[in-house]
Structure 1
């Protein structure tokens, strides 16, 4: 039975049978019966990980262990506030560090990165994410934005609509302002050249 642990680009949780390509961690969000509560995080080091690493196996939503969250791809994970894991995605984490240095001129340790990301992404109260308005044409490739209730990926000067199963056919970028789901810190890193791993439906 599908569980409500698939993450939408706006940070909300979905129940869908569609499989994700990456897994994430924000701490223990479920109870002993595997029910996910209203809190959306318990710590600041939000990472996105490979689904398979060194033959490790996990029982999903096990008592006392972190809640496994799943994403369509890395563009969604970044929009939802995560960064690459430094263990299972070491090469991607190094690319992230390099882009961070180009964007901000420093190379802080992971806890400081996470604190700066958290300040950019989180509303007080552990239940919602902060989103800003922007023009779609000003967003970097790999950023996700929303128009009304629908999320879109900015890629190659076009907009790809989000669905749990994958990205839809590209359409022209909308005019006017949109709601930028990818936070300002991560947008700077994308602008500095970090290319997220995209679902095959994106056509890359």
Structure 2
């Protein structure tokens, strides 16, 4: 039976059997019975990690340990508001920081990203209205007026599915909601290329 630990670009955390390409951490979000019904983070340090690191093995959702979250790819992790882990993905973290228009320690970065990704006390995703999806860099996620989340890649819109992307469509017309935090989109514009399941 699939655990409820697969993060969607819309912030939802669902149970799905498909294996993710990356793991993430937001603190302890589970109890013995499974994922907390409302709580979606325990701290601001939301990281995107490798699936394996130095041979370490973890018991998923172990009591008193952080909740292992999984993403289809790095673009989904970014849309959900995570950034590269400075430990297990140090090279990616340094590349990301070099492309980011924010200076200061990781704690300052996490505060800024948290402001852009989350609505405090509601455990909800902050979304950013745009007049259209044109001019967004590859790796950005948007939500269309009909509620479809999708990836912008090579001037096309790729609808998201937990098991992978659907066939490409033309870019959506009219207003969209940007899911990827604006600072992360700026890093994409400055040369950071997220790993995508379409590559």
CA distance change for structure 1 residues 60 and 195 in 2, over 3 Å: closer, same or farther? same
SS at match of 2:31: coil
**Which of residues 174, 195, 198 in structure 2 aligns to 1:197?**
195
**Which of residues 138, 141, 158 in structure 1 aligns to 2:138?**
141
Q: Is it true that 1:168 corresponds to 2:166 in the alignment?
A: yes
SS at match of 1:142: coil
TM-score, normalising length: structure 1: 0.93
- How much has 1:3 moved relative to structure 2? 1.3
Q: Is the 8 A contact 1:26 1:44 kept in 2?
A: yes
- How much has 1:48 moved relative to structure 2? 0.4
CA distance change for structure 1 residues 158 and 57 in 2, over 3 Å: closer, same or farther? same
What's the CA shift string for 1:93-119, capped at 9, x where partnerless?
Answer: 11101101xxx2x53111110011011
Aligned-partner Cα distance in 1 for 2:122–2:71: 20
Give the corresponding residue for 1:74: 74
Runs of 5+ unmatched residues, structure 2: none
Aligned-partner Cα distance in 1 for 2:9–2:140: 10
- How much has 1:185 moved relative to structure 2? 1.4
Structure with the larger helix share: 1
SS at match of 1:70: strand
Moved >4 Å (runs of 4+):
none
Runs of 5+ unmatched residues, structure 1: none
